[in-house]
Structure 1
Amino acid sequence: RCRRAAALGDMLELGAGAAAAHRQIGRLVAELGYDFLAVTGQYAEETARAAEKSGLAPSGVMVCADTDAMAAWFAGLMAEERMRSGDWLLVKGSRSMRMELMLQSLELLLGGAPGSLTEKSNG
């Protein structure tokens, strides 16, 4: 079966409800059956712990210091064949989290051409 992974950065500018919103995202990732979750940002721990409490295996959750660490974790999963070609990776975060840097780092680690991991949209 196709494995699903999420690489998530913080959702910024949420105000007082930020921690609760990040916990909700963690719960959703687990409830939707994702296999892997990597998180970075101020609320990364909130998101990760909520995912684990909702059933995502701790071995499938990683709190990362930055997008480079996140890319290294996913590259490791691929090297171990815990993730492979055909699996899905959702990358999302507030624009200022610069999550595209994670994809660029992952492409370099995997030896791919720039842009090789992203789908191009026709508009």
Structure 2
Amino acid sequence: MRWKILVAKYQHNGKEQTYPNIKMIWWAGGGNFTHHQDTNRLIKAWQKPEMIVVSECYWTAAAKHADIVLPITTSFERNDLTMTGDYSNQHIVPMKQAVAPQFEARNDFDVFADLAELLKPGGKEIYTRR
């Protein structure tokens, strides 16, 4: 099978490989439940890890299946860059913050920068640049 994610072994480049025993998933960005070919299989796969963290600004299917949901700012609550267009005509567009972050929402950069610091003293400085 092409998408056999729930078994321990698989073939790759002529060799048998073993899937890692994933204890935690941190999902940040993208609509995995809306784009997956077999949602029931995804739900089953998400029951295996001990913990699932989702960084999300909306109450999505991924957020509903998470153990921890980190409230992330929307495009209106942060200064950032985004891309628009299609494969042959892409553009970078600056986003200017229109409103203050609501409730406890934080931007992804700050969340991961603080995580780097928690995992390694000085990690915020080592792994981030502004």
Is the shorter-chain TM-score for this pair beyond 0.5, marking a shared fold? no
TM-score relative to the length of structure 1: 0.38
Structure with bigger strand share is: 2
Rg larger in structure: 2
Structure with bigger helix share is: 1
TM-score relative to the length of structure 2: 0.36
Higher relative contact order (CA 8 A, sep 6+): 1
